[in-house]
């Protein structure tokens, strides 16, 4: 049965939604360089978090940063692909849309670095005391 034919609240549609989301994540992991960079950074930060024995509140901020960054990078990639789908020509509005989406990722990335520094710098200094 096609997904359009299913009841709006059916379990099958719910499973389809999860399946599509997983397909999108797999595609991003395989093909999106910046997504791969963010996943690598998330793994490194997580390992550091365990090594430095972060407390619950610190983990909350780290997890918000990690999952927010991953979600925003997925949105950025989706915007870029949508713009590319709409036009093959170089158009100022298409460029602006892609640049602004990339800018949003950059702003969030800067915030995550600042939060990471706030959490980890005191812990690194404790090692040398």
* 73 in catalytic set: yes
Out of 32, 58, 73, 89, the active site residue is 73
Cα–Cα distances in angstroms (integers) from residue 50 to residues 6, 54, 59, 123, in the given order: 45, 7, 10, 12
Q: Buried b / exposed e across 43-60, counting CB within 10 Å, b at 16+? A: eebeebbeebebeeebee
**How many other β-carbons are positioned within 10 Å of the β-carbon of residue 9?**
7
Q: Which two tokens stand for residue 83?
A: 């713009």
Q: How far apart are CA 49 and CA 119, in angstroms?
A: 9
Q: Which residues are catalytic?
A: 73
């Amino acid at each position: 049965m096609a997904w359009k034919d299913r009841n709006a609240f059916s379990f099958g549609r719910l499973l389809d939604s999860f399946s599509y989301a997983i397909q999108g994540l797999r595609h991003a992991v395989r093909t999106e360089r910046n997504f791969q960079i963010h996943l690598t950074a998330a793994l490194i930060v997580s390992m550091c978090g365990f090594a430095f024995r972060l407390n619950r509140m610190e983990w909350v901020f780290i997890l918000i940063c990690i999952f927010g960054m991953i979600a925003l990078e997925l949105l950025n990639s989706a915007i870029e692909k949508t713009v590319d789908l709409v036009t093959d020509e170089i158009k100022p509005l298409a460029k602006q849309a892609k640049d602004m989406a990339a800018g949003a990722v950059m702003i969030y990335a800067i915030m995550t670095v600042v939060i990471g520094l706030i959490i980890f710098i005191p812990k690194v200094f404790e090692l040398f005391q």
